[in-house]
Amino acid sequence: MVWLGGPRGGARRGARPLVLHDPPPGYVPPHEPEISPEEMRKRLRTDWILLRIGTVVLVLVAFATLMFIVVMIALKT
């Protein structure tokens, strides 16, 4: 059986990362290439921009939906 184990006893500084115990035969953990600080900043900035755009779009759609409901109620009475 494979199970993920990690630090026990709450959050502590320097806690051990999650570890795969008893891996299946032939299991090779994925290799993550090193990312330069500039590339990391570029990715974080892109994520931040996309999050802001998504938030604005979501707020506008929610407002339009609310206005549609209010107009429909106002026209019915």
Structure tokens at 70: 């209010």
Residue 1 confidence class, pLDDT cut points 50, 70, 90: very low
Identify which has the larger pLDDT, 65 or 13.
65
Residue 2: φ, ψ to 5°? -105, 130
- Taken in order 29, 33, 36, 40, the sign of the CA dihedral is negative
Q: Could you tell me if 26 and 37 are in contact, meaning their C-beta atoms sit under 8 angstroms apart? A: no
3-state secondary structure (DSSP) of residue 33 = coil
Is the per-residue pLDDT at 28 higher than 60? yes
Q: Where are the domains of the chain?
A: 3-76
Helix (H) or strand (E) holding 3: strand 3-5
Average pLDDT estimate for 5-10: 56
pLDDT at 16: 64
Tens digit of each residue's pLDDT (9 = 90 or more) over 50-73 = 999 999 999 999 999 999 999 999
Residue 57: φ, ψ to 5°? -65, -45
pTM score: 0.54
Q: Could you tell me if 15 and 7 are in contact, meaning their C-beta atoms sit under 8 angstroms apart? A: yes
